[in-house]
Amino acid sequence: MMHYSNWLIGVKNRASLRNACKTLPSTDWGNRANVVDVQNNNPHSNEKTSELMVTAHLWSKGYKIIKKIGEGTFSDVVKTQSLKDGKFYACKTMKQTINSLEQANNLREVQAMKRLSPHANIIQLHELIFNKETGTVSLICELMEMNIYEYIQGRQTPLPEHTVKQYMYQLCKSLEHMHSCGIFHRDVKPENILIKQNILKLGDFGSCRSVYSKPPHTEYISTRWYRAPECLLTDGYYSLKMDIWSTGCVFFEIMSLNPLFPGTNELDQVAKIHDVLGTPEHSVLQKFKQSRAMHFNFPPKKGSGISRLIPNCPAPALSLLYQMLAYDPDERITAETALRHTYFREIRLAEKKADTLHRVSGIVDGVGSGETHSSLQHIWRQTRLGKQLRGRHTRQTPLMSHNMKHVAEPVIRRNVAHYSSELPKLNMVVPGPQISFPVSTVPAFTVTHRGTLPAITSKKCQSRLAKPRDESHRTAFKTYYMPPLERKHGGF
């Protein structure tokens, strides 16, 4: 049944590809009939001409545009289908003009995607298409379902806690990978965080910079609501810690479904931050004043706090949120440290368990299912056997196979071995307290029904197997009088 389903899906894909190749490329941007209007003094003639040329060029490269899915200041994003394999991709076309293919490959966004790929939480670049006629560059990337903004927009009930935790953990992993590769994003916001089912990936690297580039950087970077204080109050003196601030704002927005600092302008943005977090200490402001020509003095204000805005927030999540939104970037948590926070403890344990199972499966990779089961049983039996042999009880359990019994036999025999130079332990059954003798000496003890036994000095005794059972053996010890002892199960 499964083979039939796969065959049927393949037939449908091939049919759709044949139909796509027969039809002319048409998108939401317009069709070829509009070319007449474009040439007749249409106010958007240049724009539409460029769009149609991009559409035709993508068609020549084997991609059919399905629909427009996004538009930004510097680019447009459309959904495309490959005419080669039938798969769907996201095509991001730059609005800026590029002179050569070499210059296109040297774009900061292209270089960043190539350096960061592959990673489970970074959007992957599939192909770069350069149009010489228009000078436009199109990036063919993997297609996701939606972004975080679309996911939470219009939602009435908060997301499940485990979903928020999973998304934030993956976002921190993407930032940790970026920062470790020497890149910081500079525009982390819900629109640039893409999701597909339970997978989160960070995209849009058009604003990224190297962590080794010297400031000052561009001042008006990042979306205002997610802009860090050092971006607002300095002349471009910020670093990769600005990504952590933006992540904290996204974290709050995912939990509360509302933006944390929705400022209408630069001054209002700073005021919104102070309303919640309070005015920073004088020493922190002094750091910002050193790189700002304009002097600023904020009146002291005690913020309302984040906990009042999300009263049902768990304590570990609130702790991580405050560390991400530290006003001083030097005190702000890093992405690597955030991954080790208590808030993500359950996810880390689950990853560790999955990694252990993966290593175990790798050991038995290529072995038949029966042998694999036998190997795992062998590992488990050895572990349980070790636990049994470390204890007092050495009886075998049903988990032990016949061969494993022979492994335990030398250890069991060692417990009852006979040494000629030591006296074995005696389990005595008397009305008084039960006393087991030490290894080499017998202490003085009191027997209630036969009187007091005199102290016996240390003396090496023969092995129990070599000890005769007749009366002649008693004459060898006639100097000492030993009371008759009750034997239990024939032993001493």
Which amino acids are annotated catalytic? Answer: 187
The C-alpha atoms of residue 68 and residue 92 are separated, in whole angstroms, by: 10
3-state secondary structure 4-34: HHHHHHHHHHHHHHHHHHHCCCCECCECHHH
Helix, strand counts (H, E) of the chain: 17, 12
β-strand 209-210 against 446-447: which pairing, if any?
unpaired
The C-alpha atoms of residue 194 and residue 46 are separated, in whole angstroms, by: 31
Q: Helix crossing, 402-415 with 369-390: angle to 10°?
A: 10
| 74 CA to centre of own chain | 32
Give which of 167, 125, 159 is closest to 143, Cα–Cα: 125
β-strand 136-142 against 88-94: which pairing, if any?
antiparallel
The C-alpha atoms of residue 93 and residue 96 are separated, in whole angstroms, by: 9
The C-alpha atoms of residue 248 and residue 320 are separated, in whole angstroms, by: 8
In 248-351, where do the E strands start and end? Answer: none
Ramachandran angles phi, psi of 62, nearest 5°:
95, 25
**Half-sphere exposure in the Cβ direction for 86 (13 Å, CA):** 11
Contacts of 162 (CB under 8 A, 6+ apart): none
Ramachandran angles phi, psi of 258, nearest 5°:
-135, 145
The Cβ of residue 228 has, within 10 Å, a number of other Cβ atoms equal to 25
The Cβ of residue 473 has, within 10 Å, a number of other Cβ atoms equal to 11
92 is in an annotated binding site: yes
Are 230 and 332 in contact by the 8 Å Cβ rule? The answer is no
Identity of residue 344: F
**Half-sphere exposure in the Cβ direction for 490 (13 Å, CA):** 2
Give which of 243, 264, 270 is closest to 174, Cα–Cα: 243
Two tokens, residue 338: 């955030």
Two tokens, residue 6: 């796969």
Binding residues for ATP are: 92
Binding residues are: 92
